[in-house]
Structure 1
Amino acid sequence: MRPTVVLFTRDLRVGDHPALAAAAARGGPVVPLFVLDPAVLARSARNRTAYLLEALAELRDGLTAAGGDLVVREGDTVTETLRVAAAADAGLVHLSADVSSFARDRAARLRERAGQAGVRVEEFPGVTVVPPGAVVPAGGGHYRVFTPYWRAWRACGWREPVPAPRRLRLPEGIAPGRLPATAPPGAGGTGRLSANRQQGGERRARRRMRAWLDSGIADYERFHDDLAAAATSQLSADLRFGCTSPLELARAARDRPGGAPFVRQLAWRDFHHQVTAAFPGIGRRDYRPRDIAWRRDPGALAAWCEGRTGVPIVDAGMRQLLDEGFMHNRARLITAAFLTRELRIHWTHGGDHFHALLTDGDIADNYGNWQWVAGTGNDTRPNRAFNLLRQAKRFDPDGAYVRRHVPELSGVRDRRVHTPWLLADPVAGYPPPLAVRAGGG
């Protein structure tokens, strides 16, 4: 039996990995491969690169425990995959199907060049609960509105999770290669490395998932919008890198108390992926073009990026992003609405800033949500009203979230922290609201 190469991308686990399980089931040698591609690393957030390297180290541990190893190479993913396949005399390459334009172009290049070399390429599910295209409207195409998608998503049959391979073996003569502890020289990257970012890896992800299912999910519906409570799963980066199987998580969550509203969020993730599969320009072009008069204001954009807008709830969210490489979902909505609806700055600027810092940065989810907020995406009410102060007082009623992330306001008590510009004595070092200074809405 000729060896099979399993190309890992953002599916960095051994449990419920259909591409890996299918390769192991063939009975021949398996070459688990990850390529550190400078073209990917240069455009990745430093927070994601750090998480990635930790996840790869744990992936290697999981593979060696089964008798295999992780083969690591540096260079163009397609070139290195075919080079390893030739060295191993592999006739087959497995990988998980993905939806971004970059991932699809990479898979297309791999299929074309592999075919020329007599190597077959097979793609498998695993990035989402329900694969994009598995549920479609009666008229064909893709779902443009979430609610009918949600109904179809719940009704469709989910595949069974596959166990981690019990036994793997590398073909002789294939050196595993060194896994760097830090980003390779010249890899660059975007944003900055956040001091309190989340660490990566399948073992860590499984611990977080167990903790969430055992002690967090029951209160999800009640507290998930409470900014100070931080009562969300903290599993978004684990899902983005595939250290947690979205299918396993959905199956484990759906029958637990509080599970239904959480599983609905996993369906939203799948929804954005099926939209992106049909509209790969989601990160650059309006999904639904609107007649919006966008403003160009580099100073206001910079102040927003730095968390210096003078609107405490916005600044708290932006500073959480800088400090953690993460932002509470409600704060993402608030900060995005401020940029696009108050300052009228184009959604791509906000989406790009988020993507440059978020450890969980994902093309489909990040830009799909930005377009939803901006009114150019899948929201059925693109002109909905959005009151920032009402949001702040509702979801941070005591101001604890603001005080946690904006130290200049730590001495302002109760709800007054949301309107420091109304105090008799201005707070030293804190600016007046940017929307007023910029003439915004």
Structure 2
Amino acid sequence: MNGAAIVWFRNDLRLHDNVTLTEAIRKSERVYPVYCFDPRHFAETELELPKTGSYRAQFLLESLQDLRNNLRSIGSDLIIRQGVPESVIPQLAKEVGASGVFASKEVTFEEISVEKQIEDKLSPVGIELELIWQSTLLHVDDIPWPINNVPDIFSQYRREAEKITKVRDTVPTPQSLNSIDPTEPNDIPSLEQLGLSYVEIDERAVLPFRGGETAGLARLHDYFWEKDCLKSYKETRNGMLGADYSSKFSAWLANGSLSPRTIYEEVKRYERERVKNKSTYWMVFELLWRDYFRFITKKYGNRIFQFGGIQEASPDLRDDIALFHKWKNGETGVPFIDANMREINATGFMSNRGRQNVASFLTKDLKVNWTWGASYFETMLIDYDVCSNWCNWNYVAGVGNDPRANRYFNIMSQAQRYDAQGAYVRHWIPELSDVPGKKVHYPTEIPQMELANMGVRLGEDYPEPLVAFSKWLY
């Protein structure tokens, strides 16, 4: 391949360790980077919410501005287009006289469908579409199974993958880009132009998330080297308050502003220069979980989005919209659940511990359709990753990759374990702090009768939240 090439940026919004961009530069004389705003990503879901909400969209816009700035620093620019990629990309390829289009390979149905339609339009006119795998720590071609044989239990996958598979080296960041300006690059749209409203992130948020690889690399450096948090990551990762109980890399990983292999190489450098312990291993362990859900999505395809999940089960759940709204608004009367839901609503983020608990509560206690919860997270989360989100919800709902049948999170014991002093609950439910002389009290045992009846009571004449919270005070 020679002449001009398009690099279609998707969930790989970076210059560092970008194999797609590297290959385009190596094989082409001129490279035209482009990002396409697909209107389907901002359409309403069945819950009458935008598929991409304001928090994630703002993070995306910041990431694209940073990508544009970085491309300009090496003599290029980012072409912005709006419309369905299967129309926009072939048209742009003709405009610039491209002989090839390079893009990262995705694994979910909608994205694969777009890839196929683009290829069908490019191939007859002699333009090649080259799709490159670069979304995971371990390359799909290096794991010791064909995709259809990837184990359905993570521990089995991890043991074999760790033993056999080597992480490929990162590729260098390009220092210049052989690109000219063939067409109007266009401005990056505003939230309003995408049909969204700006939402101010609550000052109580764990971190002032800023999109883009510059911010992502800065967070990596700060967390590992400046604050030296990696050495205790395993002990603190289940925290719920503050910037540094966990890495928060997920936001930058989700849209590809940060490469998982770059994180891995920094872990290895940290182990050489500072300490190698369970925490440094656990950081890599979490990246392997992320990989696993992507491989499972590739294996099972659309089943991860369906009510029966990858098990094709028949969960005993119902479409109770009133209960769902109580849950999503943080108005169930159960402080530990409500505090977590208020956090995601106010910031676009929630801890991993919180996500597991609110998902379990929706599906196991309220018995509400799990796909609604997954869809709500898709709208709200800054760090939404399609594979991790939907596979995790499969897992908690009991229709996914869980070796333990009927997994259940005891909300009371979880609250006692992870928020024993009630600091997290008071942080997000100030009403509890406003009651003089009272402290949050978590029973040591679950009030089984209350939880058994909660779905019925919440759907009927349930008391106002503060009244319901009063039984948690002493």
TM-score (norm 2): 0.84
Partner of 2:224: 213
1:375–1:414: structure 2 CA closer, same or farther, 3 Å change rule? farther
Structure 1: gaps spanning 5 or more residues: 434-441
Matched-pair contact (CA < 8 Å) for 1:8–1:96 = yes
Q: Which residue identity is paired with 2:81?
A: R
Structure 2: gaps spanning 5 or more residues: 44-50, 203-207, 448-462, 470-474
Q: How does 1:113-152 map to 2 (within 5 A)?
A: 113-132=121-140, 134-137=142-145, 141-152=149-160
Matched-pair contact (CA < 8 Å) for 2:333–2:465 = no
Matched-pair contact (CA < 8 Å) for 2:35–2:78 = yes
Q: Distance in 2 between matches of 1:139 and 1:224?
A: 30
Partner of 2:170: 161
Secondary structure at 2:246 match in 1:
coil
After superposition, what is the alpha-carbon deviation per residue over 1:221-240, rounded to whole angstroms, capped at 9, x for unaligned? 11111223550111111000
Matched-pair contact (CA < 8 Å) for 2:343–2:428 = yes
After superposition, what is the alpha-carbon deviation per residue over 1:165-201, rounded to whole angstroms, capped at 9, x for unaligned? 1111324533322222x1363x336x98352462211
Partner of 1:225: 238
Deviation at 1:106, TM superposition (A): 1.2
1:52–1:338: structure 2 CA closer, same or farther, 3 Å change rule? same
Q: How does 1:69-108 map to 2 (within 5 A)?
A: 69-108=77-116
Q: Which residue identity is paired with 2:195?
A: G
Secondary structure at 2:98 match in 1:
coil
Stretch deviating more after TM superposition (20-29 or 62-71):
20-29
Identical columns (%): 29
Partner of 1:29: 30
Partner of 2:386: 363
- CA RMSD, 1 decimal: 2.4
1:135–1:414: structure 2 CA closer, same or farther, 3 Å change rule? farther
Partner of 1:47: 55
Q: How does 1:169-248 map to 2 (within 5 A)?
A: 169-180=178-189, 182-183=190-191, 185=193, 187-188=194-195, 193=199, 195-196=201-202, 198-214=209-225, 215-229=228-242, 231-248=245-262
**Is 1:416–2:445 an aligned residue pair?**
no
Deviation at 1:417, TM superposition (A): 4.1
Secondary structure at 1:4 match in 2:
strand
Q: Which residue identity is paired with 1:65?
A: S
Matched-pair contact (CA < 8 Å) for 1:66–1:167 = yes
Partner of 1:439: none
1:138–1:275: structure 2 CA closer, same or farther, 3 Å change rule? closer
Partner of 1:5: 6
Q: Which residue identity is paired with 1:105?
A: S
Q: Distance in 2 between matches of 1:374 and 1:192?
A: 33
Matched-pair contact (CA < 8 Å) for 2:144–2:165 = no
Deviation at 1:431, TM superposition (A): 4.3
Q: Distance in 2 between matches of 1:116 and 1:138?
A: 31
After superposition, what is the alpha-carbon deviation per residue over 1:48-100, rounded to whole angstroms, capped at 9, x for unaligned? 21111111110011111111111111112121111211111110111011112
Stretch deviating more after TM superposition (16-25 or 246-255):
246-255
Q: Which residue identity is paired with 1:226?
A: G
Q: Which residue identity is paired with 1:38?
A: P
Partner of 2:459: none
Q: Distance in 2 between matches of 1:317 and 1:330?
A: 10
Q: Distance in 2 between matches of 1:333 and 1:125?
A: 29
1:27–1:139: structure 2 CA closer, same or farther, 3 Å change rule? closer
Q: Distance in 2 between matches of 1:237 and 1:385?
A: 27
Q: Distance in 2 between matches of 1:392 and 1:294?
A: 24
Q: Which residue identity is paired with 1:58?
A: D
**Is 1:284–2:320 an aligned residue pair?**
no
Q: Distance in 2 between matches of 1:267 and 1:312?
A: 33
Q: Distance in 2 between matches of 1:293 and 1:40?
A: 30
**Is 1:432–2:468 an aligned residue pair?**
yes
Matched-pair contact (CA < 8 Å) for 1:192–1:357 = no
1:78–1:130: structure 2 CA closer, same or farther, 3 Å change rule? same
**Is 1:66–2:77 an aligned residue pair?**
no
Q: Distance in 2 between matches of 1:23 and 1:137?
A: 29
Secondary structure at 1:416 match in 2:
coil
Q: Which residue identity is paired with 2:29?
A: G
Deviation at 1:362, TM superposition (A): 1.6
Matched-pair contact (CA < 8 Å) for 2:300–2:310 = yes
Deviation at 1:343, TM superposition (A): 0.9
After superposition, what is the alpha-carbon deviation per residue over 1:380-439, rounded to whole angstroms, capped at 9, x for unaligned? 0021343111000101111111111111112468973446x99xxxx9851427xxxxxx
After superposition, what is the alpha-carbon deviation per residue over 1:241-282, rounded to whole angstroms, capped at 9, x for unaligned? 100001111222253542111211111111000011112221
Q: Distance in 1 between matches of 2:342 and 2:192?
A: 28
Matched-pair contact (CA < 8 Å) for 1:398–1:414 = no
Matched-pair contact (CA < 8 Å) for 1:304–1:318 = yes
TM-score (norm 1): 0.90
Partner of 2:456: none
Q: Distance in 2 between matches of 1:162 and 1:391?
A: 42
